[in-house]
Amino acid sequence: MTIQIMNVKRTKPSKPYDFYVDRRTPLGNPFYMRNENDRDEVCEKYENWFLRVAKDQAFYIYLEEIILAYKEHEKVRLFCNCSPKRCHAETIKQYIEFYIERENDKNSGV
C-alpha cells in the first residue's frame, strides 16, 4: 500500500492519484495554528474532528474519490503545505489504510 504525504510547495500534483488535502478542500484542517507550538494540538483536534464529527456530503465524496483512485492505481499522494512536519494528512492516510485493509479482509473472508 502506497500512500504518500507530499508538500505542495516542493512537488505539484500531476497524476490521477494526486489529491490536495489542504484548507481549500473538503478534507482540509479547519483548526488553525497561531504558531509552530500549536502543531500537535491542531493535528489532534483534526483527528478527533475527522473521526467523530459529522461532515457534509462534499467531505465524503472527496474521501471516496481518493479511495477509488487508490483502488485503481494502488497508490495515492496527498498534498498539503506541512510535510515533512506533522500534518493532518497523516489522519487521512491512516483512515484510508484502515479502510482498504478492512475491505481486503472482508473480501478474503477474514
Closest CA to 56 of 28, 19, 16: 28
Query: pLDDT band at residue 105, thresholds of 50, 70 and 90?
Result: confident
Residue ranges of the domains in the chain?
A: 2-31+60-108
Q: E strand or H helix at 72, and its extent?
A: helix 57-73
Q: Tell me if residue 54 falls in helix, strand or coil.
A: coil
- Whether the pLDDT of residue 1 is over 70: the answer is no
Q: Check residues 106 and 100 and name the one with the higher pLDDT.
A: 100
> pLDDT digit string (tens) for 17-64?
999 999 999 999 999 999 999 999 999 999 999 988 767 889 999 999
Indicate the pairing of strand 18-20 with strand 75-80: parallel
How much is the pTM? 0.90
